[in-house]
Every structure is written in structure tokens, then in C-alpha cells.
Amino acid sequence: MNFSYRIKVIILIAGIVIFTFVSLSPCLKNGYCNWDDYHLITANHSIKELSWKNIKEIFSSGYVGTYIPLTVLSFALENKFFKLNPFVTHLINLILHLLNVILVFGLLYLLTDNLLISAIVSLLFGIHPLHVESVAWATERKDMLYSFFFLSSLTFYHFYRQKAKKIYYFFSLLLFVFSLLSKPMAVTLPLVLILLDYYYEKQFKIKQIYSKIAYLVPAILVGIINIHFQGSGSLSAISYLKHIFVFFYNLLFYLYKLLLPANLSAFYPYPENFEKSLPLVFFVAPLIVAVIVYLIVWTKKLTHKIIFGSLFFIITLLPVSQLIPLVAPAIAADRYVYIPSIGLFFIFGLLIDWLYNRKLASAMTLKNILIIPLIVIFLLLGFISFNRCKVWKDSITLWSDVLKKYPQNGIAYNNRGNAYKFIGEYEKAYNDLARALQLNPLSAESYYNLGVLYFNVKNYNLAMEHYNKAIAIDPYLAVAYLSKGDIYFIYGDFGNAIEYYTKALQIDSLNVDAYYNRAIVFTRTHNLEQALSDYNQAIKLKPNFVQAYNNRGNIYFDFDEFEKAIWDYTKAIEFDSNYAPAYYNRAVAYYTKGDLDKARSDVEVLKKLSVIPDSNFLKLLEKNK
């Protein structure tokens, strides 16, 4: 590759990257949403402090039913250096996507030695509206990371094939492990490597399997771990045969959305009464797939490259294709085709290259005419993606968009109602949550959310009624027991409050609020040793828990352990320099120890915070000058 050619390649890649960045740039203005972002990022205590204890927890826990330790670790690192900032989160996701675009370009160029195909595939990968969900949804950092390592592993395996150096094989295997630890969808890579062998050798051979055995070990191990964290769930009456029809339906669904990315949604619900009967389209789907395959074979265009692209699409889609039955509220998702789409984009690139460099090789005018619709397609896709990014601005815009496409979806009403509740728009929240219950009367989550809404407006009787209904539907809903405990605490029924906080902890031993609230009740009932134990647990789970440090310091003060009390008050202040109670309590502790200068210093800080300490305490400080 001469210097001028390299410059041409660099300019081409730069143009693709810039166009992709512009097309997806609105996602940088987005916040977090209430769909997994809460559990994985904003309320995830594991990422609040980058400690060995938390790292151990990250690698031994599942998050939102999936084993994704490297993804969670990336959020912990992000929080360490930038704190929780949605702009930073989305910027990192976008940068990772741009790196993936470059990797796709490089991998396709290695496979084809064709700039046109490489450019078309990487540009489609970068700007296609079906990929917006993977980039614009903060939680889908796991898509970005697993794909980065997946594509890198494929690239190193290519170099291993070309140069037969074991170092490339080792890096490919290592990157595969990283990909698995980012998202279990990477489990298909050993099959893709066999497919890569087929691409070069134009036939499948038994010996191609031998070099993939090392990849199977981590794949099986992570698969077992993920099944453990995913839980057994329930498939209800849906038979395995039904899932085969769903598999074919999904193949056509994703093919259709890739060709015509209209009416995209963050949530595609199962058809109504799906468990009882299948709509006609599901029975027709296998026939349509069979006809497509027959037509391709009949036209004699089924080259090994088209087979490679088709199988790449199907193989990488397998974990989420429903061929392996999964318990999921949605039948399909845009994010599932982030990597699989490369296979179909490759076939499209082959088609354009065939038209441009072979069919129209001698017809320059027709070649130039072909470029025009291509440019229009790319601009249109970029425009759609640009606007699609805005849908992910916040929870309300997200679920409002879902309801435009699926106005009878109870999950969307529940989630939007929860978002309205969070910002204090209680009337809108009530309307959405009530509608969610109309559509799904057995939604424990909707009953619970409606209970929280009543709690917020201090209608504790109705709140308790809805918590009880939620528990009747789902006896393992820990937050409902916690919330019942809160109501008993307000009523002054400390015995029942402790009982329900304890029930919440029996179900969810990592519930920080249950430990903290029970500690407050233990303090009120003068069980200080038990309160101290619960504050210890709360701080262990949430190392930056300002109020817990302050309250634990108060207990140490009551025990006359002033050094420990001051240490706790100081920790609270380190995490929140404007937390007045900790300054006041530390001032009293310093005064009690006889360290009057430090006590006066804390009082001065309180005055700057516009907080006037107890007049009697001020007199004592003044008296002892």
C-alpha cells in the first residue's frame, strides 16, 4: 500500500467517522432513563467506589439478570474519574461506537481488499437507525464493549490465519474472554471463527473445529454463569415449537427493519394472546424464508461470500433469536442486530460492488447515476438516526414514543407513569399507572408504583392497600415490604416497621434503604447495638452514604467514642461538603473533647451555610473563649 493510497484510506475512514458522529451526536444531550439505567448505573452501589471489595462484587454478581462484569467495571471507572454524568456516559458510548465503525472497516478490508465494500458496510454499520438504541441507551455500554472486543478478536484471528503466529491466536482468545465478560452475546464467536475459515477455504472442514476448542471453554463457563444469574423464569404455555416460528418471524422482522427502518421502537411487545394462539404471520414466516433461500439458489447467486454474510447474520443472532427460548417481555429489540447486521450489510456491499465494478464497469454515466441513490440512502439513514437519538432524551420521551407505536402496552404506561412520579407530575403519573393496571391487572410493579404515588401525597391508607396488592401478586417484591415498613414507621408502629424491613432484607440482602431505615427504628427504640450493625451494613453497601455516616457517628457519640464519632462526621463531610448536620455534630464532639478551636471552626462553616447552631451551644463556646 503506497503512501497516497494510505492517505486516501485515512481520509475515507475519517469521513465515515465524522458522518457517523454527526448522525448520532444528539445522544450527547440525553440523560439516563428508567429502563435498566437505574439498576445498572444511577442506583448501582457497586460502581460508587472503585475498591477491591466492589471489584470482587462486580465479578461475582449479575446485573439486570445478566453477567456483565467488564461493562459494570467500565461504569465504576467512569464514576471514579467523572462522577455520574450522562454526557460523559453517552460520549464514551459514542466513542466506542466510532471505534467499532473503524474495526468494521478494517475487518472488511482484510476480508475483501475492497475499499468500496469496506466503506459501504462500515458506513451502514455506523449510521443505521437500528443501531441507535445500542449507542443512545446508556445501559447498552455492554453492546459497545462486547462488540469492540468481538471485532478485535476476529481481526487478530485473521492475522493468526495469515501469519500463523501464536501470539495473534493468544490475543484473539484473550479478547474473546473480554467480549464474553462484557455481554454474553459474544458466545457465538467460536462459530463465527469457523465461518471465517469457511470464507477463506470455501468449504467447511472438520479440522477447522480443532483450533476453536480453546474458545469453547470460556464460552461454556460464562454461559453457565449467565444462566445462573438470569434465573429459571417461566415459559408459561409457550411450547418450544412456538419458539421456532418466533425464530423465523424474527429473521424476517430484522431483515425488514434493516431494509426499511420505519416505526422503530424501544419495545416490541408480543402479540396479544400470544400464549394461546399464534398470529398468521408467524406461520407464514418460515415459508417466506424458504422462498427467499430458493430464489437466491435458483438465480445461482449463492456464492460462498453470500453464504458467509447470511450465516454471520443468523449465527450472531442466535442467542436472542428465540430459537433458544428466553423469558423476555419483548419479542425483539433493535439492539440485538448491532453485530448481526454486519452480515447483511456485507451482502449489500457485494451487490453494490458487483453493479459498480462489474455490471456497469464500462458505463461511466450509469456508474455515476448509481452513486446518487446511494448518497440519498446514506443521508436519509443519517437523518433518521439523528432524530431517533432524541427519542432517548429521557424516560418520558422514550416511553411516549413506544406508546405512539403500541398504545395498548401496559409496560410502557407503567414506566412513563413512574417517570412522571419521579418529577412530581402526580396527575399524569396516576393516569398512566391506572391505565397500566387496566391493561395488565396482574402487574405487581404497577400496583407498587401507584402505592408510592399515594405515599408521596401522604395518603398512607391507599398506599398500604396498593403495597398489599403488589405483594399478593409477587410475594418476593422486596421494595413493597420496605415501603410498608416506612408507613408503619410513620404511624409509630416500630415493631411492624422492623418486621417489614427485615422481610425486605430476607428477600434482598443488598437493600441499602432497608438497613438504613431499620437502623433508624432501632435507634428510636434504643437498640443502639443493632442500629450500629445496620448502619455498618448500609455503609458497606453504599460507601458514600452521607446520612448513614452521620447517624452512626451519633451512636458512637452516645457510646462516648468521640474519635470514632468525629471520623464518621468527617467522612460525611468529605462526601458532601455542604451537609450541615455533620458539621454541627462534629462541632459538639470537638467541644466535648475540649478541642474548642475546631468546634468554633465548624460553627463558622455552619454560618456560611446559613445554618444557625443551637443558641445554648453557641453560648458555651463563647463562654469558654
pLDDT tens-digit readout, 497-506: 999 999 999 9
Q: What is the pLDDT of residue 297?
A: 74
Mean pLDDT of 431-453: 95
Cell numbers representing residue 132 in the block: 441507535
Cell numbers representing residue 152 in the block: 478485535
591-623 pLDDT per residue, tens: 898 888 898 899 889 988 888 887 788 777 777
Mean pLDDT of 164-183: 95
- Indicate whether 3 pLDDT > 80: no
CB atoms closer than 10 angstroms to residue 239: 12
Q: What is the pLDDT of residue 141?
A: 96
Distance between CA atoms of residues 119 and 341, nearest Å: 15
Helices and strands, counts by H and E, the chain:
31, 2
Mean pLDDT of 163-189: 95
- Residue 149's nearest CA partner among 175, 180, 187 is 175
Integer CA distances (angstroms), 537 to 249, 480, 531, 534, in order: 49, 21, 10, 5
- Indicate whether 295 pLDDT > 90: no
Lowest mean pLDDT among 370-379, 467-476, 514-523: 370-379
Integer CA distances (angstroms), 312 to 110, 124, 135, 457, in order: 16, 16, 22, 54
Q: What is the pLDDT of residue 236?
A: 44
- Residue 400's nearest CA partner among 420, 416, 417, 421 is 416
Residues listed for the chain: 625
182-224 pLDDT per residue, tens: 999 999 999 999 999 999 988 888 888 888 999 999 999 988 8
Quote the radius of gyration of the chain (alpha carbons, Å): 29
Task: Quickly list DSSP for 542-555.
Answer: -TT-HHHHHHHHHH
Side-chain-side CA neighbours of 374 within 13 Å: the count stands at 20
Distance between CA atoms of residues 123 and 119, nearest Å: 6
| Cβ within 8 Å of residue 32, ≥6 positions away | 38, 41, 42, 86, 89, 138
76-121 pLDDT per residue, tens: 999 999 988 999 999 999 999 999 999 999 999 999 999 999 999 9
Sign of CA dihedral 531, 536, 541, 546: positive
Cite the DSSP H helix spans in 267-320: 280-298, 304-317
Q: Which amino acid is at 404?
A: K
Cell numbers representing residue 535 in the block: 448502619
Q: What is the pLDDT of residue 137?
A: 96
Backbone angles phi, psi at 66, to 5 degrees: -140, 145
- Residue 385's nearest CA partner among 20, 15, 14 is 20
**63 strand-pairing partners:** 66
36-73 pLDDT per residue, tens: 998 899 988 889 888 888 899 899 888 888 899 999 99
Q: What is the pLDDT of residue 361?
A: 60
- Indicate whether 364 pLDDT > 80: no
The share of the chain scoring above pLDDT 90, in percent, equals 70
Q: What is the pLDDT of residue 327?
A: 58
Q: What is the pLDDT of residue 501?
A: 97
Distance between CA atoms of residues 31 and 380, nearest Å: 26
Q: What is the pLDDT of residue 367?
A: 67
CB atoms closer than 10 angstroms to residue 114: 16
Side-chain-side CA neighbours of 484 within 13 Å: the count stands at 23
- Residue 76's nearest CA partner among 45, 35, 97, 33 is 45
- Name the 3-class secondary structure at 260: coil
Q: Is there a contact between 618 and 600 (Cβ–Cβ < 8 Å)? A: no
The model's confidence at residue 590, banded by pLDDT at 50, 70 and 90, is very high
**Taking all residues of the chain, what is their mean pLDDT, rounded to a whole number?**
91
CB atoms closer than 10 angstroms to residue 212: 18
Distance between CA atoms of residues 501 and 513, nearest Å: 9
Q: What is the pTM of this model?
A: 0.89
- Residue 319's nearest CA partner among 238, 265, 247, 252 is 247
530-573 pLDDT per residue, tens: 999 999 999 988 888 999 999 999 999 999 999 999 999 999 99
Cell numbers representing residue 235 in the block: 415459559
The share of the chain scoring above pLDDT 70, in percent, equals 95
2 vs 192, higher pLDDT: 192
Residue with cell 455492554: 142
What one-character DSSP code corresponds to residue 35? Answer: S
Mean pLDDT of 417-436: 95
Q: Is there a contact between 127 and 385 (Cβ–Cβ < 8 Å)? A: yes
Q: What is the pLDDT of residue 134?
A: 97
**330 strand-pairing partners:** 269
232-282 pLDDT per residue, tens: 444 444 467 788 888 999 999 999 999 999 999 999 998 887 777 888 889
